[in-house]
Structure 1
Amino acid sequence: MAVIGVIGTGVMGRGIVQLFAQAGHELRLYDTSPEAVAEAARFVAGMIDRQVAKGTIDAMAGESVKGRIIPCTALADLAGCEVVIEAIVERLDVKQQVFGELEALVGAECILASNTSSLLISAIASKCAHPERVAGLHFFNPVPLMKLAEIIPGVMTAPIVTDRLKALVEGAGHRAVTAADQPGFLVNHAGRALYTEGLRVVEEGVTDHVGVDRIVREGLGFRMGPFELLDLTGLDVSGHVMQSIYDQFLQDPRYRPSALIPPRIAAGLYGRKTGRGFYAYPDGQKQEPAEAGVPAAKHPIWLGEGVDIEAVTALVTNAGFTLVERPDDPTDPALLLALWGEDLTSAAVRLGLDPTRCVAIDPITDFERRRTLMTSPVTRHAIVDAAHALLASDGTKVSVISDSPGFVAQRVLAMIVNTGCEIAQRGIASPDDIDAAVRIGLGYPMGPLALGDRIGAARVLAILESLQRVTGDPRYRPSLWLRRRALLGLWLGQQAV
């Protein structure tokens, strides 16, 4: 059993106390307000009582857990701690002051850890006489349920400190991942791609925020789309984090924030907490527009490059459409393609097809849950309506989007994978830790490197190269980790020899 001090009685501090008290440690809880300390102790005790009532733990064990939580009225009460975890306001000067005061109280072997989510650990430790014992220990809310913690050694942190914190976290049943002292650490860094690429898609007029969220949620199997997540976390908070990480990475285009965010922040549209963000929340419930109706249209269909012939032919047959063998058939057929990384305009020109009759389907999304139909700037309405009617003929939902290299889903996935690859290339975290942190901390279906391996590294590389070529935007430049492994036929999760 360790004696652990926790400074700060907010949501994170309370969660950390509960986690380690339940793991068998003695917890000393301190805040500058004695009333806040007492309230926090009562709150944690109440959470333990709820578990007893549910039968998760027995009454005797619950009383033992509560008995290990010791409210403190002075910072000096933490003098005997082996680890002190700070979970206070995100201000560098305040954290530096607290750590300076702690150094005069605790023993030489005591670890000083910060639950900061945005400040550099090396900066926090810079005012300490012994920066080698300072590290980051970043949990996620709610702490007892989000079974992940980032351990962040600063430039001066001793390796033994990282090892001791890892053992402490794993002993409490959480996955410990180690991240370098870089902007966003691991989870917040990896999460930039979903947000920024979703925003970029809307900026380009490919589809609206509702369209992006539906494709990501239903077509890719994510729990929430990027705009739902922005509304949940708050645009004021997420907007600040996006700008901060962009600036801290010296304005690397990969992390460029969106011009769509500042006007909404200025208008006070922060999301759920203000009743309106990208969505409106009357009575706390998200208001989402109804799906567009399915057109009652038919037209001859020609199946071209990349199309799953068996699946689409079954739709054609069951819906009573006519399938033709040549794009120049006199019936003037709709020309259906399936593209990887390419926009429909480029594909039509490359293949010598009539762009007014071309439409494309995204082969990467879940064909049974949601299909994405892409049009060129000149695709005729009758062609779009017919293709929409065909793809929706078995009751599957269809999203119709404007021309875009990589549709929506491919773009989002490619950027998630590329960001994970860049984290690995920079040595910020190991491949295993990257995938575990993203899967647990962000709730993605898979980690970015595993996701890239599932799609195929060469295919992800091709999508990014197409995006960079068509848009001219350096944000799409492939990570060297991705490029080299794609060329060598290696797994993205594979370390260098």
Structure 2
Amino acid sequence: MTKTASASAIAPSRTVAVVGTGTMGQGIAQVALVAGHRVRLYDAVPDRAREAADALAGRLDRLVDKGRMDAADRDEALARLHPAAELAELADAALVVEAVLEQLPVKQELFGALEDVVGEECLLATNTSSLSVTAIAGALRHPGRFVGLHFFNPAPLLPLVEVVSGFATDAETATRAYETAKAWGKTPVRCTDTPGFIVNRIARPFYAEAFAIHEERGADPATIDAVLRESGGFKMGPFELTDLIGQDVNEAVTRSVWESFFQSPKFTPSLAQRRLVESGLHGRKSGRGWYAYGTPGAPSQEAERPAPHTAPPAKAPDAVTVVGDLGPARELVAMMTEAGIDVTSVNEGGPYIELPGDGQLVPADGKTSVEFADVVYFDLALDYRGATRIALSASEDTSERAVTEAVGLFQKLGKEVSVIGDVPGMIVARTVAMLVDLAADAVAKGVATAEDIDTAMRLGVNYPLGPVEWNRRLGQDWAYDLLSALHERCPTGRYAPSLALYRQAYAGEEETGS
């Protein structure tokens, strides 16, 4: 079935040029080619465009072998693919997408030269992930036709495209770029030119909070990864994911966003990750990062992954008292009853679960166990029924009985239990609260719509929920309250709730009359 292109999308009959023939350039060229365009490939290195065209032919051959493309369609696509030896051969392009070195002078010089070659109606687009779209366009005579088209690697497979409007980008330019990406079968989202755009801006806490907890000796990497996967619902933990991405690559993005935001404490890089990079321990590609992988390129020799901390079996309490509304964890009441635990509910006070030995099991709220007598905190879960692991935290002063009863209770509910250090906000709750905060701040500042932010985070980094949706489920003052408590205990500015979260919490008080 043939898709009908939007009226404002660049017609398939028009030429698309791709400059830069590395992995991203080839991927973008493949997307445009399969969408029906004539594609011209150009690279400043002699013969590189021809080599890229041959590599693209191989990619299409593999699609045919796997039954994902007809041989006739492959032959027609390859007939539309043309390596270019000179920049002047791109003169008929309706769209030029650049995927060259992430260096501002290189990109500015390239687009300056392209302005002398292409027609006035040609859109100029950069696939940059770290540079300012506004800055790249700043050297152009006609910056209104310049836009960011940030594809995610591998471009043929991943659906997300961030359509980035620079300070001078015309609205019509952004719309044509958006509709063209949509016609290519992608899921585009719009955003303004902000450091990191949507995904790389909002995703920073997913890595940063895990690294900070590790640096604070709250938990080891394997445990933090397991808790975020098995309780938070994330597909991969931050330690294993950054090993896959490359510690040097991930740290460079973090540092770029931090510096672009004038070294805001919200984006402070990790010293522990810096030490990995300085040591050449870049992850899978170097054979070791946070974890050991054995010899690079030899999966059969991969080292065994450390196991997460898991508490030994403990006896569950026969009866508990639930005080107040457990909020996001209220499903635990029904789960405990179903597991045969006698539950008494008290409406006033809390929220906490009172244990038989007078200990209290409290949902993570940004405070620490050391502040209270016999308080054991339990972490946030995406879905308490579906979660297979729960993290608990306690101080050295917490009684052994309280910890044992808390462990036994969650084991009775069918969960593995990881007991971590006395970490304010714990692991999942602290991470989610920061993601919610950065998303709310981005919406309030017009970076992108709430819908586009959630779409970008689900498709770009495979989050189980977008942070705006997570905020709706948790309640509009949940993240504000947790971060306020964290900020009080760690007053660096990193955890200070954004004005957007403050307004949400204040609006909630106004609505309830409190």
1:198 equivalent to 2:210? Answer: yes
Report whether the alignment pairs 1:341 with 2:360: no
Query: Which amino acid is the alignment partner of residue 72 of structure 1?
Result: A
Q: Any conservation in 1 of the 2:18–2:39 contact (CA below 8 Å)?
A: yes
Deviation by residue 1:250-300 (Cα, 9 ceiling, x = unmatched): 111111111111211111111111111111112444632234464355486
List per-residue Cα deviations over 1:2-49 (Å, max 9, x = no partner): 211101110000000100111111100011234321221112112222
* 1:432 aligned residue: 451
Higher mean alpha-carbon deviation, 363-372 vs 219-228, is at 363-372
- 2:418 aligned residue: 399
Distance 1:33 1:309 in 2: 65
Alignment of 1:240-251 (within 5 A): 240-251=252-263
Residue 66 of structure 1: which of 78, 91, 100 is its match? 78
State the TM-score, normalized to the length of structure 1: 0.89
Structure 2 partner of 1:494: none
SS in 2 for 1:242: helix
Which residue of the other structure, out of 430, 438, 451, is the alignment partner of 1:419? 438
Task: Give the superposition deviation at 1:316.
Answer: 6.8
Partner of 2:376: 359
Task: Identify the match of residue 395 of structure 2 among 367, 371, 376.
Answer: 376
Structure 1 segments unaligned to the other structure (5+ residues): 349-353, 491-497
Residue type at the aligned position of 1:280: A
Q: How many residues align?
A: 475
- Structure 1 distance, partners of 2:146, 2:281, is 38
Q: Which residue matches 2:104?
A: 92
Partners in 1 of 2:448 and 2:139 — Cα distance?
26
Correspondences of 1:112-261 after superposition (within 5 Å) = 112-261=124-273
Higher deviation after alignment, 187-196 or 479-488: 479-488
**Partner residue, 1:457:** 476
Q: Match of 2:217, SS?
A: coil
Contact 1:299 1:333 (8 Å CA) reproduced: no
2:53–2:81 CA contact under 8 A, matched in 1:
yes
2:284 counterpart letter in structure 1: R
Q: What's the CA shift for 1:226? A: 1.2
Give the one of 304, 307, 325 matched to 1:287.
Answer: 304
Judged with a 3 Å threshold, the aligned counterparts in structure 2 of structure 1 residues 139 and 304 are, in CA distance, closer, same or farther, namely same
**Contact 1:294/1:392 (8 A) holds in 2:** no
Contact 2:15 2:38 in 1 (8 A): yes
So what's the TM-score if we normalise by structure 2? 0.86
Question: Residue 407 of structure 2 corresponds to which residue in structure 1?
Answer: 388
Select between 398-407 and 67-76 the one with higher mean Cα deviation. 398-407
- Assess, with a 3 A threshold, how the Cα gap between structure 1 residues 361 and 182 changes in structure 2: closer, same or farther: closer
SS across alignment from 1:71? strand
Distance 1:170 1:95 in 2: 25
Separation of aligned partners in 1, 2:271 and 2:489: 21
Q: Which range moves more in the overlay, 223-232 or 478-487?
A: 478-487
Letter in 2 for 1:276: R
Report the alpha carbon displacement of residue 78 of structure 1 after superposing the two structures with TM.
0.5
Secondary structure of 1:399's counterpart equals strand
Report the AA paired with residue 479 of structure 2. V
d(CA) in 2 for partners of 1:296, 1:141: 43
The alignment yields a C-alpha RMSD, in angstroms, of: 2.5
Residue 306 of structure 2 aligns with an amino acid whose one-letter code is P
Does the Cα contact within 8 Å between 2:316 and 2:407 map onto a contact in 1? no
Q: Secondary structure at the match of 2:271?
A: coil
Residue 48 of structure 1 aligns with an amino acid whose one-letter code is L
Change in CA separation of 1:394 and 1:164 when aligned onto 2, cut-off 3 Å: closer
CA-to-aligned-CA distance 1:75-130 (integer Å, 9 cap, x gap)? 11101111111111111111111111111111111111111111111211222222
Q: Distance in 2 between matches of 1:253 and 1:221?
A: 27
Alignment of 1:265-304 (within 5 A): 265-282=277-294, 283-284=298-299, 285=302, 287-292=304-309, 294-298=311-315, 303=321
Q: Give yes or no for the alignment of 1:20 onto 2:32.
A: yes
The answer to whether the Cα contact below 8 Å between 2:15 and 2:95 also exists between their aligned partners in 1 is: yes
Secondary structure at the counterpart of residue 124 of structure 2? strand
1:101 to 77, 100, 113: 113
Equivalent residue, structure 2, for 1:408 = 427
Distance in 1, matches of 2:146 and 2:338, equals: 62
Q: For the Cα contact (< 8 Å) 1:114–1:137, is it kept in 2? A: yes
Q: Structure 2 vs 1, CA of residues 456 and 85 (structure 1 numbering), >3 Å: closer, same or farther?
A: same
Contact 1:338 1:363 in 2 (8 A): no
Shift of 1:154: 1.7
User: Who is 1:448 aligned against?
Assistant: 467
| Contact kept in structure 2, 1:336 and 1:361, CA below 8 Å | no
Deviations 1:342-368, CA, capped at 9 Å, x for gaps:
4343663xxxxx43xx42323535434
Letter of the 1:339 counterpart: P
Look up the match of 2:55. Answer: 43
Deviation at 1:406, TM superposition (A): 2.2
Partner of 1:487: 506
- Contact 2:364–2:377, Cα closer than 8 Å, also in 1: no
Partner of 1:54: 66
Partner of 2:18: 6
The residue identity in structure 1 corresponding to 2:474 is I
The percentage of counterpart residues that share the same residue type is: 38
Task: Give, in whole Å, the separation in 1 of the partners of 2:310 and 2:198.
Answer: 42
Contact 1:84 1:111 in 2 (8 A): yes
